[in-house]
A and B are shown apart, each in its own frame.
Chain A
Amino acid sequence: EIVLTQSPGTLSLSPGESATLSCRASQTVSISYLAWYQQKPGQAPRLLIYGASTRATGIPDRFSGSGSGTDFTLTVSRLEPEDFADYYCQQYGSSLPTFGGGTKVEIK
């Protein structure tokens, strides 16, 4: 099983600032099959990024993903009020898809 470790656990920022979220895998994620999801309270997760860096349909370009191998990053530039939420990374390169524990981006 590939274990994904997200850091930090909580990120306290102000609107307009940039957020940098990290996701580290316990072993190489094949073909950069790494996705990011956003979840707001009381809502289902929403796919933001797949293939480590490809934005899903309708996702604003202030969301960007990067990385390969075992280290991946989600960057949210110019935080909007609606971006304050929980974020999860997920690998889908192995037969057992796994999620990270999440990063909470909260308003400072």
Chain B
Amino acid sequence: EVQLVQSGAEVKQPGQSLKISCEVSGYSFSTYWIAWVRQMPGKGLEWVGTIYPGDSDTRYSPSFQGQVTISADKSISTASLQWSSLKASDTALYYCARGLNSGRLFDYWGQGTLVTVSS
């Protein structure tokens, strides 16, 4: 059974750093893309970026390029999304998802990680 299990909710202050994770099981981690998708409170879905764990090929949405970093650790079948300096506008629910079609179609999703940035 394919599963993507994300790390728990986070509450941070502006300017702090953060790394959230997505551990996968039930398939070969290295051979499928992993994407991150943002959902701001009460809003729709936005693609953040995608990584291919097999060779760490990473693509970002222009809206998120330079704002976040996506990484993957094959040894623990885990992908991560990180910020070096959070802003209040980063407050959102972040989903990881398995990606098909060069990581642009999402067939299995994690349960989401709520990130709250507030002073």
Contact of B105 among A33, A44, A88, A100 (CB under 8 A): A33
B52 at the interface (CB under 8 A from A): no
User: Which of the 9-residue segments B10-18, B68-76, B80-88, B108-116 touches chain A?
Assistant: B108-116
Contact indicator A47/B107 (Cβ below 8 Å):
yes
Contact indicator B45/A99 (Cβ below 8 Å):
yes
5 cross-chain CB contacts under 8 A: A33-B101, A50-B105, A88-B45, A99-B45, A100-B44
- Map CB proximity to B onto A55-73 as digits: 1 under 8 Å, 0 otherwise: 0100000000000000000
Q: Which of A4-23 contact B (CB under 8 A)?
A: none
A96–B35 alpha-carbon span in the complex (Å) = 12
Interface size on B (CB < 8 Å)? 19
A15–B54 alpha-carbon span in the complex (Å) = 46
Q: Which of A33, A45, A97 counts the most chain B CB atoms within 10 A?
A: A97
- Chain A, interface size category, equals 20 to 34
Contact indicator B62/A99 (Cβ below 8 Å):
no
Q: A45-B37, A50-B105, A101-B44 are in contact. List 17 more A-B contacts (CB 8 A).
A: A35-B106, A44-B109, A44-B110, A44-B112, A45-B95, A46-B109, A50-B107, A88-B44, A90-B106, A95-B104, A96-B61, A96-B62, A98-B47, A99-B45, A100-B44, A102-B44, A102-B45
User: Across the interface, which residues of A come within 8 angstroms of B107, CB to CB?
Assistant: 47, 50, 56
CB-CB under 8 A for A97 and B112, given A44-B95, A45-B45, A90-B45: no
Contact indicator A96/B111 (Cβ below 8 Å):
no
User: Across the interface, which residues of B come within 8 angstroms of A90, CB to CB?
Assistant: 45, 105-106
Q: Which of B95, B105, B107, B111 counts the most chain A CB atoms within 10 A?
A: B105
